[in-house]
Amino acid sequence: MIEIQPVINKYPKKGPIIQYGTAGFRTIAENLDHIAFRMGLLAALRSKGKGSAAIGLMITASHNPEADNGVKMIDPHGEMLEQKWESIATELANADDNLVQEELNRIVSELGIDISKPAHVFIGRDTRPSSLHLSKAAMDGVEVLSGFVKDHGVVTTPMLHYYVYSYNIGPSNEISYRENYLSRFTAAFKALRKESTKNVNYEATIDFDGANGVGAIAMHEFVSRLGNSLNVNIYNSDTTTKGKLNFMCGADFVKTNQKPPEGFAIIPNRRIVSVDGDADRVIYCYVDENGVFHLLDGDNIATLVAGYLMDLVRDSGLNLKLGLVQTAYANGNSTRYISEKLRVPVACACTGVKHLHHKALEYDIGVYFEANGHGTVLFSNNARNLITQAAADERLPDSKRQMVIRLKQLTELINSTVGDAISDMFLVETVLYFRGWSIQDWFSVYANLPNRLSKVTITDRNTIKTADADRKCTSPEGLQEAIDKIVKDYPSGRSFVRPSGTEDIVRIYAEAESQEAADELATRVCRLVYDIAGGIGAFP
Ligand code: G16
């Protein structure tokens, strides 16, 4: 084993115990130096143990406030880190400085890793002021174990996932990863627009809210390639002024506050597309001619996409099993609409893309979306093969063949490695284009139940434990019973609580027949959490 102790001293352990949570390690940036360094070490070991496949390390805290940051590891197919390694990462992150060497030796011997193998680690970062420094700490970690670092600089999280995947399916020094990514999705989008449709109410103009983050940078690059296929007005693209990232804008702000983003003049009935700080989630909204705000969140995207894919599968005559995966945050009416009206099977998974992704692999075409706008579509190898064969089958009647070809083009448009706000936006725009829908048409497909997402800070969020895909709270004792009792007061009421895996808070979700009822239910459940689970600070 290589001697790492002198470098460890550069990155002394700081802050409280930290866990590899919903999306990696996340906390205030100043407590992350040692975590970034150690994840560099671990990524190098993971690469060595995976036959020198590239492993990704993304420095981002996504939707969190600018002062936070995070480190997330990406596995060889561009997917989230294998669950077993999350606990290995947690142990290494929390080991005392003088025990890190021993911990590494233990990982190497228990997993039989040949450390003489080369390691390849791709590193990317968001636009946070702390990200450059943390990415350097991660690079130090990789290099101490003689790994090769490819520094991709400022990228969206889905870009890095895609780069890792691209390298591992066919490494080449010729590839410009960025150009490859940008041109693949632009080309697929433009190809789909070549087919003319009646377009009825669809207008090819959107207002894009970049959350003052890397999504705005990526969108500028896409726009220069899109030609006149889509007019994108980019707002909230200030990535250099301190304090602006995710502030009063972006997908999380719009979804949580149920308000349009700030930073630009709203045009009635114009589609507004908001992404988050690392552009892996997307939310649509609009304000109508009466000044009323309307949200189209991950549930609306899921129903739009699953409904359209269902039609394509049926009209193409292909025998493919399609399913949708949601979480407990999915609006009750979206689930009813998709399962009862569209007859698409729906499954519920725990919060966190990794859980939804895993479940979606059970279908030929697995659509997954969290209500907060994270999601994508997965095509099994069987589905891809059937689609490719059918597209080449000249005996197929033209009407069916056209649907098969459209399905094939959609496989090119979708970034299946992970939820990708921009590829998802292209997908939504494509479905609206073929349906000929305005945003009002889309909004009127079904009505979400009014809902409220709130948060409460408690002494130790880990005292809240849940089961049944986050829908039941098993600890502290008595909390679930108390919630059940309150929910009975609200027709169509539903509420649940769970500890966030990315922020030091407990999330409270409530839905009911009216907005007033949903707000009241949320407030009452917040009060319960605050009183029973040890709330701190002022009651929100
Ligand atoms: C991350 C995860 C998402 C999750 C979100 C909130 O998103 O990737 O799957 O829904 O955190 O998680 P929690 O409720 O546990 O805080 P992001 O956009 O912050 O990377």
- Pairwise CA distance, residues 404 & 427, whole Å: 16
Take atom 5 of ligand 1 and give the residue whose Cα is closest. 352
Q: How far is the CA of 76 from the centre of ligand 1 (A)?
A: 21
- Of all protein residues, the one whose alpha carbon is nearest to atom 3 of ligand 1 is 352
Q: How far is the CA of 461 from the centre of ligand 1 (A)?
A: 16
Cα–Cα distances (Å) from 134 to 12, 60, 127, 361, 391, in that order, read 13, 10, 12, 33, 47
Q: Is the CB of 501 under 6 A from ligand 1?
A: yes
Annotated binding-site members for substrate: 370-372, 498-502, 507
- Residue 65: phi and psi, rounded to 5, are -60, 160
Q: In 3-state terms, what secondary structure has residue 151?
A: strand
Distance CA 75, CA 357 (A): 13
Pocket test for ligand 1, best of 502, 506, 509 (most atoms within 8 A of CB): 502
CA pair distance 40, 69, nearest whole angstrom: 16
CA 499 to ligand 1: nearest atom: 15
Partners of 209 in the beta sheet?
Answer: 235, 274
Q: From ligand 1's centre to the CA of 349, what distance in Å?
A: 13
Q: What is the pLDDT along the chain (540 residues), one digit of tens a residue?
A: 567 878 898 999 999 999 998 889 999 999 999 999 999 999 999 999 999 999 999 999 999 999 999 999 999 999 999 999 999 999 999 999 999 999 999 999 999 999 999 999 999 999 999 999 999 999 999 999 999 999 999 999 999 999 999 999 986 655 689 999 999 999 999 999 987 777 789 999 999 999 999 999 999 999 999 999 999 999 999 999 999 999 999 999 999 999 999 999 999 999 999 999 999 999 999 999 999 999 999 999 999 999 999 999 999 999 999 999 999 999 999 999 999 999 999 999 999 999 999 999 999 999 999 999 999 999 999 999 999 999 999 899 988 999 999 999 999 999 999 999 999 999 999 999 999 999 999 999 999 999 999 999 999 999 999 999 999 999 999 999 999 999 999 999 999 999 998 888 999 999 999 999 999 999 999 999 999 999 898 877
Strands 322-326, 346-348: pairing is parallel
> Alpha-carbon distance 332 to 353, whole Å?
20
- The two three-digit tokens of residue 160, written as one number: 């890095």
Helix, strand or coil, per DSSP, at residue 123: strand
Q: Kindly compute the dihedral angle of the four CA atoms of residues 206, 209, 214, 219, in this order, to the nearest 10 degrees.
A: 10
Closest atom of ligand 1 to 502 CA is 16
- 372 in ligand 1 pocket by Cβ < 6 Å? yes
* Cβ-based neighbour number of residue 509 at 10 Å: 25
The answer for residues whose C-beta is within 8 angstroms of residue 25's C-beta and 6 or more apart is 18, 19, 32, 35, 39, 70, 71, 72, 89, 93
Assign 156 to helix, strand or coil.
Answer: coil
Backbone angles phi, psi at 522, to 5 degrees: -60, -45
**C-alpha 12 to ligand 1 mean position (Å):** 28
Sign of the dihedral through C-alpha 74, 77, 80, 81: negative
Letter for the amino acid at 156?
T
- Tell how far the Cα of 404 is from the centroid of ligand 1, in angstroms: 34
Atom of ligand 1 nearest to the CA of 352: 9
Burial of 397 (0-12, 13-18, 19+ CB in 10 A): exposed
Q: Which ligand 1 atom is at minimum distance from the Cα of 21?
A: 15
Active site annotation includes 62: yes
Whether 279 contacts 423, CB under 8 Å: no
How buried is residue 373: exposed, middle or buried, by Cβ count under 10 Å (0-12/13-18/19+)? Answer: buried
The one catalytic residue in 62, 135, 166, 495 is: 62
Q: What is the maximal distance between C-alpha atoms in the chain?
A: 69
- CA-closest candidate to residue 260, choices 291, 226, 306: 291
Start-to-end Cα distance in the chain? 51
* Closest of 29, 22, 5 to residue 80, by C-alpha: 22
